Amino acid sequence: MTTQFSNNPQTSRQLYINGGWSAPSNAATLPVINPATEEIVAEIAQGTSADVDRAVAAARAAFAGWSTTSAQSRALVLGKIHELMLERKEVLAQTLSLEMGASINSARAMQVPLAAEHVRVARDLLSTYRFQTVQGGTAIEREPIGVCGLITPWNWPLYQITAKVAPAIAAGCTVVLKPSELSPLSALLFAQLVHDAGLPPGVFNLVNGSGHEVGAAMAAHPDIDMISITGSNRAGALVAQAAAHTVKRVTQELGGKSPNILLPDADFAKAVPLGVMSAFRNVGQSCSAPTRMIVPKDRLAQVEALAAATANAIIVGDPRSEDTVLGPIANEAQFNRVQTMIEAGLKEGAKLVCGGLGRVQGYEKGFYARPTVFSDVDSAMRIAQEEIFGPVLCIIPYETVDEAVAIANDTVYGLGAHVQSQNLDLARAVASRIRAGQVHVNHPAWDPMAPFGGYKRSGNGREYGVYGLEEYLETKAIIGFCGASESTPHT
């Protein structure tokens, strides 16, 4: 696979600060591993707190000007970013496949176009969003919060960058981005793309590096007004703790263990294969993946057969191949985590329907996990409670709809959920009882305007659409805006 990074490794060893590429404060680097081959394909700069200081200073200096630009001006720049993303979609897709193992088809069909959609939505919202409204004699102003620190994960690298950067820029904020050090190459391409779109210096800055160095420095920085992180619960908690000293806003999109309830009247021949493929999308490396399939006990054998047939038909292999459906797990640590959890399921007595431990046959190199289905899973088992983040599905039986809802809610997470039924009223009623930030009924099309975020330990705040834009805005009341003169009490 050929990319600018394999041809010119020096490309990746710089930071993007104040409108240009610059050397980091030290010469240390971090390797980027191709999960399909386990080979180093690039090295990135290992930024430090000093680099964060430079990036934040640039963002702070740019904020005064960018925050006062017109919505139309910001929309024009976002439009250019969107245009360039579509023009460069193939190199972006190839780079995503290289750095985190996405099959080239899924990179082309999902990773890149859905990332571009976040930019388009942010651009389009600027033509309709009302940054000022009037209530009686009071004006309600929605103003940019300031300098935003954005920390993004390795599983949907470009998609999560645009989900944060686009609304922040649309709101009039300036940003410092720390992409995951495990899949940072698409972020570097995005930085060049933003530069080519003509975004003013300092509005967007990128500092590569580790979470414990760069991420921690951003979270604690007194001149960063907001932190938005997508990552593990452990990382989210550490960021919140570091941010607490400066009382900055923190939004978190964290873990999930999403249920998929198949109600007794569901079309099982259709719903089960769709459920399996939804759980295994992106090799199961999605925080909202519906990895707990909750099914009527008297239909368990049918569900097992359908799930096994679907999982066994999945082509796992070289992500460069047009025939591949699932590539490798994105990194070695995650591959090992998946193996540990499969072993836990076996030890706890879950029924192994298909898949299991070890690499896919024929692959001695590369982090290729076997699509695995467990059945007769109890909610107390680790595989039913802990986020696995791999192609592992748990089938859990129920006897009543009330029990199905209770199982769905029996987790510390509350990010996504699914309900399948041919009775839309029944599906809606069940959906309303599930404690999750998003519930999908009968596998609908993706909606980039639908707010995304979690209940419980899945996080705080929302992304996407209007709700995502408003995370980057402060609310100001100007009382007496329309001429009222009498004094009113306030606190």
* Residues identified as active-site: 253, 287
Burial pattern 363-372, b for ≥16 Cβ within 10 A else e, equals eeebbbbbbb
Rounded distance, CA 173 to CA 205, Å? 12
DSSP category for residue 291: -
Angle, to 10 degrees, between the axis of helix 89-100 and the axis of helix 71-87?
70
The greatest distance separating any two alpha carbons of the chain, rounded to the nearest whole angstrom, comes to 80
Rounded distance, CA 308 to CA 305, Å? 5
Rounded distance, CA 463 to CA 438, Å? 11
* Residue 451 structure tokens: 């707010």
| CA nearest neighbour of 191 among 180, 215, 207 | 207
Q: Name 235's Cβ contacts closer than 8 Å, sequence gap at least 6.
A: 151, 211, 215, 229
Tell me, letter by letter, the H, E, C secondary structure of 354-387: ECCCCECCCCCCCCCECCEEEECCCCCCHHHHCC
Is 264 buried (19+), middle (13-18) or exposed (0-12) by CB count in 10 A?
Answer: middle
User: Beta strands of 109-262 (E only): which ranges?
Assistant: 132-135, 138-144, 147-151, 174-178, 204-206, 226-230, 249-253, 259-262
Other beta carbons less than 10 A from residue 80's beta carbon = 18
* Residue 134 structure tokens: 């009037």
* Residue 233 structure tokens: 């619960």
* Residue 48 structure tokens: 């430090």
DSSP category for residue 308: H
Q: Name 118's Cβ contacts closer than 8 Å, sequence gap at least 6.
A: 159, 162, 163, 166, 167, 448, 464
C-beta of residue 147 within 8 angstroms of C-beta of residue 223: yes
